[in-house]
Amino acid sequence: MLITDILIRNAALFPDDTALVELNPELREKEAPNWREFELVEPDSFHPAYRKELNWFDFNARANQVANLLRSNDYRKGDKVAILLMNCLEWLPIYFGVLKAGCVAVPINFRNSTDEIAYCLELADVSGLLFGPHFTQRLVPIADKLPRNAFFVGDEDAPEFAEDYYAAVALQSDILERAELTSDDEAAIYFSSGTTGFPKAILHLHRALYFSAVVEQAHHRQTRDDVFLCIPPLYHTGAKMHWFGSLLSASKAVILRGTKPEWILEAASSERASIVWLLVPWAQDILDAIDSGAVDITKLSLERWRLMHIGAQPVPRSLVKRWLTVFPHHDYDTNYGLSESIGPGCVHLGLGNIHKVGAIGRPGFGWETKITDEAGNTLPSGQVGELQVKGDGVMRCYYRDSEASDAVLPGDGWLRTGDMAEIDDDGFIWLVDRKKDVIITGGENLYPVQIEDFLRANDKIKDVAVIGIADPRLGEIAAAIIELKPGQTVADGEIEEFCLGLPRYKRPHKFLFSEVPRNATGKIEKPKLRALYNSTNLVEQTILG
Q: Residues 134-163: what's their mean pLDDT?
A: 95
Quick one: which of 479, 402, 397 has its CA closest to 437? 479
Query: Given this model, what pLDDT does residue 84 score?
Result: 98
pLDDT at 37 over 50: no
- Radius of gyration for the chain, computed over Cα atoms and rounded to the nearest angstrom: 24
pLDDT digits (tens, 9 = 90+) for 480-516: 999 998 889 999 899 999 999 998 888 999 999 999 8
What CA–CA distance (Å, rounded) separates 270 from 43?
4
Please state, for a pLDDT cut of 90, what percent of the chain lies above it: 66
Across the range 17-31, mean pLDDT stands at 88
What pLDDT was estimated at residue 43?
46
pLDDT band at 196 (very low <50, low <70, confident <90, very high): very low
Q: Are strands 397-398 and 199-205 parallel, antiparallel or unpaired?
A: antiparallel
Q: What is the mean pLDDT of residues 420-445?
A: 82
Q: Pick the range with the lowest mean pLDDT from 144-148, 205-209, 222-226, 419-423.
A: 419-423
Q: Where are the domains of the chain?
A: 3-326, 354-434, 439-542
Percent helix, strand and coil across the chain, each to the nearest 5: 35, 25, 40
Q: Residue 108's pLDDT is what?
A: 95
| Contact status, residue 343 vs residue 188, Cβ threshold 8 Å | no
Contact (CB, 8 A) for 10 and 247: yes
Give the model's confidence band at 47: pLDDT under 50 very low, under 70 low, under 90 confident, else very high. low
Q: What is the mean pLDDT of the chain?
A: 89
Distance CA 103, CA 42 (A): 41
The pLDDT of 360-364, averaged and rounded, is 94
Least confident residue range of 18-22, 208-212, 304-308, 429-433: 429-433
Q: What integer pLDDT is reported at residue 192 of this predicted model? A: 81
Would you give the DSSP letter of residue 236? S
What is the CATH number that goes with domain 439-542? Answer: 3.30.300.30
End-to-end CA distance of the chain: 56
What band does 520 get if pLDDT is binned at 50, 70 and 90?
A: very low
Strand order in the sheet with 18-23: 51-55, 18-23, 252-256, 227-230, 275-278, 307-311, 331-338, 343-348, 362-363
In this predicted structure, the answer to whether residue 345 has a pLDDT above a threshold of 80 is yes
pLDDT for the residue 36: 55
CA dist., res. 313 & res. 474, Å (int): 9
Cα–Cα dist 77/104, whole Å: 8
Does residue 532 surpass a pLDDT of 50? yes
Query: What architecture (CATH level 2) is domain 354-434?
Result: Roll (2.30)
Please state the separation of Cα 73 from the chain's center in Å.
30
Model confidence, pTM: 0.83
The contacts of residue 172 (CB under 8 Å, 6+ apart) are 64, 65, 66, 68, 69, 72
What does the pLDDT average to over 352-375? 91
- 284-313 per-position pLDDT tens digit: 889 989 998 999 999 999 999 999 988 766
Residue scoring higher pLDDT (81 or 282) = 81
Task: Yes or no: say if 502 and 451 are a contact pair by the CB < 8 Å rule.
Answer: yes
- The residue type found at 376 is G
- Rounded Cα–Cα distance for residues 85 and 107 (Å): 8
Q: Looking at residues 41-64, what average pLDDT do you find?
A: 81
The mean per-residue pLDDT over the stretch 468-475 comes to 87
| pLDDT reported for residue 298 | 92
Indicate the fold that domain 3-326 takes in CATH.
Answer: Rossmann fold (3.40.50)
C-alpha to C-alpha distance for 209 and 203, rounded to whole angstroms: 11
**428-455 burial code (b ≥16 CB/10 A, e <16):** bbebeebebbbbbbbbbbbbbebbbebb
Confidence category of residue 56, pLDDT binned at 50, 70, 90? very high
Per residue in 232-253, pLDDT (tens digit) is 899 988 888 999 999 999 999 9
Instruction: State the pLDDT confidence band at 343, using cuts at 50, 70 and 90.
Output: confident
